[in-house]
Structure 1
Amino acid sequence: MNEQLSDFAKERGVEYFLISYTDLFGAQRAKLVPAAAIDDIQEGGAGFAGFASWLDMTPADPDLLAMPDSASAIQLPWKPEVAWVAADCTMNERLVEQAPRNVLKALVARAGERGMRVKTGVEPEFFLLSADGSEISDSHDTAEKPCYDQQALMRRYDVIAQICTYMQDLGWKPYQNDHEDANGQFEMNWEFDDALATADKHSFFKFMVKSVAEMHGLRATFMPKPIAGLTGSGCHAHISVWDGAGEVNRFASREDELGLSEEGRHFLGGIVRHATAYTAITNPTVNSYKRINAPRTASGATWAPNSVTWSGNNRTHMVRVPGPGRIELRLADGAANPYLLQAVIIAAGLDGIDTRADPGKRQDINMYTEGHLVEDAPRLPLNLLDALRELDRNGALKAALGEEFCEAYLKLKKDEWNAFVSHFSRWEKENAIDI
């Protein structure tokens, strides 16, 4: 039974609750509710106009009611009188099936019916920019190979350490932070958890990083490719499947060379089989395709895939098996919706188990220098429209994610693509003005 949020408020001195839901484009929408009114909101939901966010609704639709999930409540470490609570969207007393958190919860339940608990960890990367977002915030961060740069990391110590301390206070068990492969880019890691808990934490993490950056007069962005020529921001996901009690790793095997069970290989097979379709969700923006189809970056490598291949502990592939009992999907980027990222992983993996999918040949080459030798590997979509078409053609994945969600997502994302292609860029004028 859910805890009463009014009790949470009394115990912790919370004066306000941010009742938050995440829309199809990954934007977080919230209402600030005083603690004195939270009992009514917990019972009846916070009212929103769904059309006013990125959901496929109209101004004539009735109220969208965001029902707070008290299990997700997080007291803001930097503003402890406020607590953030993830909410599930309802309308006319039924779940809104296109709402991302509802999509994920349905898939978590489907895995649970099979006695499976999907556990995941994410590795979100982000840039710290100037307040107006026009340039890297650290003018001294200019190294050709800036990854793990000690000096650059410590020049942003105040920001990174503040966020990490907050994660420790929240019990997330963060374990490392680093300067990443692009100038101005960072990554922070915390312990893996059940897929829904990871998605809630991932959503809150993005809110927290942006908030702390603003306190320091900076701007944080998870945009996949904010700066031409530099490595883009990924969001690698580590995946394992456990028994219902969460005690036995069903992906682990002592007999397999990579430590991956037969069930784990079939799950991997689903991840491989459906990759070109779920790219529309793991890489959901026009800008995403400037990361996964990028030319060589200033550091010497993009650290992003452009083909559907898998390997052992080899970071140049879309999927790697870095250790026994888990796989890492390296495709997703910083724009990925935290809930939909987890949802497509589960959807693709369960289909792989159901169909006993074969992941295909393991590749151990350096894909950045020898990728042209792998002739039969599917190429990832070259742009958002190609990705959306792949998703629309994939009946199994659409069925797993739900008809209402897929119809809404494809409609709004195609509208976004049409808005992009109707824009006249400076490049077009500079290169065609004399025709």
Structure 2
Amino acid sequence: MTQLLSETARTQGIDYFLLSFTDLFGIQRAKLVPTSAIDAMADGQAGFAGFAAWLDLTPADPDVFAQPDRERLYQLPWQPELGWMPADLIQANGDPLEQTPRWVLKRVLAQAEAMGLRAKTGVECEFMLFSPEEWAVSDPRDQQAKPCYDQQSLMRRFSVIRDICDGMQKLGWNPYQNDHEDANGQFEMNWLFDDALVTADRHAFFKYMVKSIAEQQGYRATFMPKPFPHLTGNGCHTHISLWDPSGTTNLFTDATGELGLSKLAYHFIAGVLHHAPALCALTNPTVNSYRRLNAPVTLSGATWSPSTISYSGNNRTHTIRIPDGGRFELRLADASANPYLLTAGLIAAGLDGIQQQRDPGPRSDNNTYTAPTANAPILPGSLHEALDNLAQSSVLRTALGDPFVNAYLKLKRQQWQEFSHQITPWERETTLDC
């Protein structure tokens, strides 16, 4: 018999639960539930007005309900009287609200399971620490042109990084390294890969944890893709491999294959490359995302983001990097990506590559920043373009489902229109005297 959450709470000293879901724009929405009421609320009684979040619903629609995943209780390391649980949204009749991101990922994982495949992922989610009330890096001494791995800048923010890393250790995530990244005020923290849904839930919680601990210490953490035009943006490099149903045999591994990858892996890579223009709508989901892609050279000398739809070996200038056997890294996504939609889109594209036996062609080992890959397609230049590509993708529509694709396109196009109506300072400066 499954232990009641109230009993778990008494054992672990939890007084309140955050029942949290992630909406279409990646915003986490929650209700704070006292332990005395958690058993009833956990059975799907925590109601939300869906229109109040970024979902394609109206004020006339009935409530939707958060059903937390009982296997994903994260006791907040920095506030242990609180427990956080990712939830799926269900309708009053018990059916899933299929447009919601966590349901979309579960839908795609079921498709992989039907093919005898189990996806495992890991993410490298970069973020910056700002001063709380200013549009500025929090550390005024962090000014080097090449600040990546800088020991002094890293250690001046040791208390923040330590508390986040300690939190991951308490949660059993097996963190293994932390560093100062290529932009001033930018950091990256790595933990061990796991099943795709586990990683997506941890990714969602990681963003919450980073922001919360930063706030506690007087800073503001941001996952914005490109806060400053002259600095490297915040990426979310994603590593993926496919395994057998038991999760014991890595099906991407082939010691005799090129760079240690199997034919299955190369079919998967081909699918990702084929669908990259549409995939961008999920991996790079904001207007600001396209300041990071196809960007001019930064202060450090490199953007570390791709511009061409191409793949390579251990070469960080392409959309896909193969660092060693048994996995590959998608360098396309940025830190604003919805943890669930990023993973769902990546897997859906790759599965199509397997089903269609797609061929990625020969890899490109050039430095795309100095010698662009000949005849390689260019990534979309705007959110508008990426959304159009998603709208035209019958494969991703089938894999992700009409309820999601329709809702996502509707709301994201509204966001693009809102952006398009803005008059920027640059426009005023360059055209006022025309």
Q: Distance in 1 between matches of 2:396 and 2:192?
A: 28
Deviation of 1:409 after TM superposition, in Å, equals: 0.3
Q: Is the 1:45–1:68 Cα contact (8 Å) retained in structure 2?
A: no
1:180 matched residue in structure 2? 181
Deviation of 1:3 after TM superposition, in Å, equals: 4.8
Deviation of 1:397 after TM superposition, in Å, equals: 1.1
2:194 matched residue in structure 1? 193
Farther-moved stretch of structure 1 (335-344 vs 42-51)? 42-51
Q: Distance in 2 between matches of 1:218 and 1:184?
A: 11
- Where in structure 2 are there 5+ consecutive unaligned residues? none
2:65 matched residue in structure 1? 65
User: What does 1:7-18 align with in structure 2 at a 5 Å threshold?
Assistant: 7-18=7-18
2:299 matched residue in structure 1? 298
Q: Does 1:264 align with 2:262?
A: no
Deviation of 1:141 after TM superposition, in Å, equals: 0.3
1:26 matched residue in structure 2? 26
Q: Distance in 2 between matches of 1:128 and 1:2?
A: 41
Task: Mark the CA change 1:2 to 1:133 in structure 2 (over 3 Å): closer, same or farther.
Answer: farther
SS in 1 for 2:113: helix
Deviations 1:209-264 (A, max 9, x none): 00000011000000000112000000000000111111000000011131111111
Q: TM-score if structure 1 supplies the norm length?
A: 0.98
Q: Distance in 2 between matches of 1:386 and 1:120?
A: 27
**CA RMSD in angstroms, aligned pairs only:** 0.9
Letter in 2 for 1:225: K
Task: Mark the CA change 1:133 to 1:339 in structure 2 (over 3 Å): closer, same or farther.
Answer: farther
User: What does 1:98-177 align with in structure 2 at a 5 Å threshold?
Assistant: 98-177=99-178
Letter in 2 for 1:333: D
Deviation of 1:318 after TM superposition, in Å, equals: 0.6
Letter in 2 for 1:275: A
Deviation of 1:428 after TM superposition, in Å, equals: 1.1
Letter in 2 for 1:74: Y
Deviations 1:383-418 (A, max 9, x none): 110010011111111111111100000000000000
Q: Distance in 1 between matches of 2:5 and 2:426?
A: 53
1:280 matched residue in structure 2? 281
Q: Distance in 1 between matches of 2:310 and 2:277?
A: 11
Letter in 2 for 1:316: T
Q: Is the 1:3–1:71 Cα contact (8 Å) retained in structure 2?
A: no
Deviation of 1:115 after TM superposition, in Å, equals: 1.9
2:369 matched residue in structure 1? 368
SS in 1 for 2:119: strand
Q: Is the 1:281–1:336 Cα contact (8 Å) retained in structure 2?
A: yes
Deviation of 1:329 after TM superposition, in Å, equals: 0.1
Q: Does 1:401 align with 2:400?
A: yes
Q: Distance in 1 between matches of 2:103 and 2:52?
A: 19
Q: Does 1:433 align with 2:422?
A: no
2:325 matched residue in structure 1? 324
Task: Mark the CA change 1:396 to 1:3 in structure 2 (over 3 Å): closer, same or farther.
Answer: farther
Q: Is the 1:284–1:384 Cα contact (8 Å) retained in structure 2?
A: yes
Q: TM-score if structure 2 supplies the norm length?
A: 0.98
User: What does 1:409-424 align with in structure 2 at a 5 Å threshold?
Assistant: 409-424=408-423
SS in 1 for 2:71: helix
Q: Is the 1:251–1:263 Cα contact (8 Å) retained in structure 2?
A: yes
SS in 1 for 2:19: strand
Farther-moved stretch of structure 1 (357-366 vs 144-153)? 357-366
User: What does 1:25-104 align with in structure 2 at a 5 Å threshold?
Assistant: 25-92=25-92, 93-104=94-105
Between the aligned residues of both structures, percent identity stands at: 58
Q: Is the 1:236–1:330 Cα contact (8 Å) retained in structure 2?
A: yes
Letter in 1 for 2:34: P
SS in 1 for 2:122: strand
Farther-moved stretch of structure 1 (75-84 vs 42-51)? 42-51
SS in 2 for 1:324: coil
Q: Distance in 2 between matches of 1:236 and 1:133?
A: 28
SS in 2 for 1:65: strand
Q: Is the 1:237–1:329 Cα contact (8 Å) retained in structure 2?
A: yes
Deviation of 1:2 after TM superposition, in Å, equals: 5.8
Letter in 1 for 2:81: E
Q: Distance in 1 between matches of 2:43 and 2:201?
A: 21
Deviation of 1:273 after TM superposition, in Å, equals: 0.6
Q: Distance in 1 between matches of 2:299 and 2:329?
A: 25
Deviation of 1:429 after TM superposition, in Å, equals: 1.2
1:337 matched residue in structure 2? 338
Farther-moved stretch of structure 1 (285-294 vs 108-117)? 108-117
Q: Is the 1:3–1:70 Cα contact (8 Å) retained in structure 2?
A: no
Deviation of 1:375 after TM superposition, in Å, equals: 2.9
2:239 matched residue in structure 1? 238
Letter in 1 for 2:280: T
Deviation of 1:13 after TM superposition, in Å, equals: 1.1
Deviations 1:270-293 (A, max 9, x none): 111100111011000000000012
Q: Distance in 2 between matches of 1:2 and 1:304?
A: 46
Letter in 1 for 2:17: F
Deviation of 1:44 after TM superposition, in Å, equals: 2.8
Deviations 1:294-326 (A, max 9, x none): 100000000000110001111111101111110
SS in 1 for 2:407: helix
